[in-house]
Amino acid sequence: MKLNYNPDGWVIQDEEVRVPESSPYRVETKHDYISNVEIYTEQNKGGTRLTEGTDYTVDYNGEITFRKNTITLSSSYAGQTLYVWYKTIGDIVEADDFNNLENALETLSSGSLIFLYTYCKGVL
C-alpha cells in the first residue's frame, strides 16, 4: 500500500528485509524518502542494533535510486533477515501504479459484463 504525503512523516516499524546472499548487499524499503533509519537483528528492536556507517549506509541523496529508499549492508549480514524502523514522508506514485489500477478495473468491468450477460440470458 502506498502512503500519501505527510509533512510530519509516517513511522514504519519492524519492516522485514532479507539481505541478498551476494554483493551488492542492498535492500529497498517498501516506502520512499526514508530517514531516521534503525536496523535490528530481531523484531521489536530486539537483538543487536546495527550501526549506521559501519554496518550499513542509507542512500538519503538518491544516488542509487530516485526513491531514496536503498540501504546497503555489510557483507557480514549476507542472507540474514533484519528488521528496519524508519520514517517516511510518503511514496512516489508512478504511471505504472495508475496503469495497474486501470487494468484491474478493466478486468473487473469485463468480468461484470460477462456475468450480467450470462445472468440476463438465463432470466430472459
> Would you list the domain boundaries of the chain?
10-88, 94-124
Q: Which residue has the higher pLDDT, 51 or 110?
A: 51
At residue 121, the pLDDT reads 46
Place of cell 478493466: 106
DSSP structure class, residue 24: S
Q: How confident is the model at residue 103 (pLDDT cuts 50, 70, 90)?
A: confident
Contacts of 29 (CB under 8 A, 6+ apart): 12, 15, 17, 69, 71, 84, 86, 88
At residue 108, the pLDDT reads 67
